[in-house]
Amino acid sequence: MKTIIVPIDFSEQSEYALKVAASLSKKHDSEIIALHMLELNEAMISSSEGFHPEQTVFLLKMAEKKISEFLQKPYLQGVKKVTPIIKHFKVFSEVNDIAERHQADLIIMGSHGSDGLKEIFVGSNAEKVVRNSAIPVLVIKDELEDFRVDSFVFACAFKEESIAAFKKAQEFASKLSANLHLVYINTPGDNFLSNKDAYDKINSFLQKAGAGKEVTIYNDYSVERGVLNYSESINADIIGIPTHGRKGLSHFFMGSIGEDITNHSKIPVMTFKI
């Protein structure tokens, strides 16, 4: 894990994310990029009529001072390197460029809790970061002094399109020295599968993925409840789910299930782009 990006808005939640990044950094000798989004309006950035260079310089200097003070945390001592980067309000579309330029492996973001993704980072921009991110995004809701992952749940529909996300989850579980638990949620109604049909589907997926992992078939009334209940039953430390990226969080599994999982999960959730 070479480089971790942490979006910073100076909130308590972004500090939770920074603490987790620091914990991982010390264990994996990773660098941290503290990414702050300076919300300059469009006129100030691009319009010759509205452009006020002295205001822009002032705001940039203030942001530099604030992020420098924010990063004066004792828990960052011992971190290999912390690099602050300030971007303007379109940062969510630039995060991949930053990730690629710095060869980042992971984005860690803070969340306000049950209000969910609309409260992560600044407004709805977090959802846009997740949609645009080519690398995994880890959502943190609570303060975790020593981030340890012993049990890692990865839930998906075991369709061929999720193979790349599954392999990435495998890779991260290995990096974290975690036990990876694969789960298929079987629900009543039109999506119900017999055990034979479910295992046929799962085995086909695993064969194409070149994996020999055991998979649990967990029955529940909805995919969201199944993922959360199964994770709680095995005392999981983190939940991994695939996302269709630019198609948005509303396309996890079906409907808004993935977003609901992220909103209602009491433990960290990591998204992997399909």
For the domain made up of 151-273, give the CATH fold: Rossmann fold (3.40.50)
pLDDT beyond 70 at 225:
yes
In tens, the pLDDT along 48-105 reads 555 566 776 777 788 889 999 999 999 999 999 999 998 875 545 677 788 888 999 9
pLDDT of residue 110: 86
Tell me the CA distances in angstroms from 268 to 64, 225, 264, one per residue in order.
29, 16, 10
Locate the domains of the chain by residue range: 3-140, 151-273
* Residue type, position 165, single letter: A
Contact (CB, 8 A) for 152 and 236: yes
Q: Edge-to-edge, what's the strand order for the sheet holding 269-273? A: 81-87, 31-37, 3-8, 106-110, 137-140, 269-273, 238-243, 151-155, 179-186, 215-219
Q: What is the pLDDT of residues 115-138, one digit of tens each?
A: 555 544 444 455 566 667 889 999
Q: Read off the pLDDT of residues 139-196 as tens digits, 9 standing for 90 and up.
A: 898 888 788 999 999 999 999 999 999 999 999 999 999 999 999 999 998 789 999 9
| Residues 255-274: tens digit of each pLDDT | 457 667 877 888 999 988 88
Cβ of 218: how many Cβ atoms within 10 Å? 19
Beta bridge partners of 240: 154, 270
Q: Say what the pLDDT of residue 136 is.
A: 92
Topology of domain 3-140, CATH: Rossmann fold (3.40.50)
Mapping DSSP onto H, E and C, the string for 1-14 reads: CCEEEEEECCCHHH
Residues 6+ apart with CB under 8 A from 37: 7, 9, 87, 88, 89, 91, 92, 121, 122, 125
Rg of the chain over all Cα atoms, to the nearest angstrom: 20
pLDDT of 204 over the 70 cut: yes
- Alpha-carbon gap, residue 39 to 201, rounded angstroms: 47
Q: Grade residue 235 by pLDDT with cuts at 50, 70 and 90.
A: very high
Residues 251 and 130: beta-carbon distance below 8 Å: no
Same fold, 3-140 and 151-273: yes
Q: pTM, whole model, 2 decimals? A: 0.85
Q: Minimal CA–CA distance to 250: which of 130, 138, 95? A: 130
Q: Is pLDDT of 252 > 50? A: no
The residues that bridge with 3 in the sheet, in sequence order, are 31
Token pair listed for 119 = 């409260």
pLDDT of 274: 81
**171 DSSP β-pair partners:** none
pLDDT value of position 122: 41
